[in-house]
Amino acid sequence: MRTLFSVFLLLIASEVSLAADIPDFSANYAVKLNGIQAGELKRTLETDQTGLRHFTSISQAKGVFSFFKPDIIEETSLWRLKDNVVQPQFYRYLRTGGKKEKRLEMKFNWLDMTAQIDDREHPWQLDIEPNTLDKLVYQISLMRDLIKHKGDQITYRIADGGKLKTYQIRILGEERIKTPMGEIDAVKLTRHRDKDNERETTLWCAPSLAYLPVKLEHIEDGTTFTAVLRRLKGMDYEQAFIHHNNTSTIDSHD
């Protein structure tokens, strides 16, 4: 359970005009394990005074699951647009609060096309390719690409696990998703893996929210983890949702 929950939480989306299609935001998701409330996921996008954008994901177990998995996992990616393409500058992974704490940092050097990786034990250098992304910021790139993409597949090269990996995102169609904020129309996507890989990851991204993921699902070893959007700040969502449940859920603050 500990390993599966960690995997899911790791899974667990012109300069001015294009930046406007993904404004700074704060999104909170309720995480469930086989339908039982298990934790929460919070993602934020902020822009500093230099124009550098900070994308952060924080996840942790709640309730009884926090006894088995007390870790807090925080990922941060600093990025900017280069020729209208997301270009990561720095990535950090932190796992704290449990028995096995972990810290990893990755600095991208686009002049010599390398990434310096430091896990506090065995620092190393990774050769990268043009348009390489880190495993968090690719979800921002996906949101931007869905706005303009035509076709049924998007491919990314990701610096992940000390090597470059290919992520293939396939567009499956459209579905209406139920959330605590109301129903919303979304595009359904899946990360394609080899046939012998039993893991399955699915995203539902809402066009009316700049393709922000409103639901995530990961299935592995018969266990289903889901994360559903329950609170949002920074985006105009008044016309996006159908049948709001109540304003107290929408407008409450952490």
Q: Which residue has the higher pLDDT, 61 or 129?
A: 129
Kindly report, residue by residue over 195-243, the tens digit of the pLDDT.
Answer: 666 788 999 999 999 999 999 999 988 889 899 999 999 999 989 999 6
pTM score: 0.84
What are the tokens at 23? 């404004």
pLDDT of residue 3: 52
Q: What is the DSSP code (8-state) at residue 63?
A: T
Residues 131, 88: contact at Cβ < 8 Å? no
**Residue 252 pLDDT > 50:** no
**For residue 160, what is the enclosing H or E element?**
strand 153-160
Q: What pLDDT does residue 63 have?
A: 54
Of 35-44, 74-83, 127-136, the one with minimum mean pLDDT is 35-44
Q: Is the pLDDT of residue 77 over 60?
A: yes
Average pLDDT along the chain = 84
Q: How many whole angstroms separate alpha carbon 245 and alpha carbon 190?
A: 28
3 state SS of 222: coil
Would you say residue 67 has pLDDT above 90? no
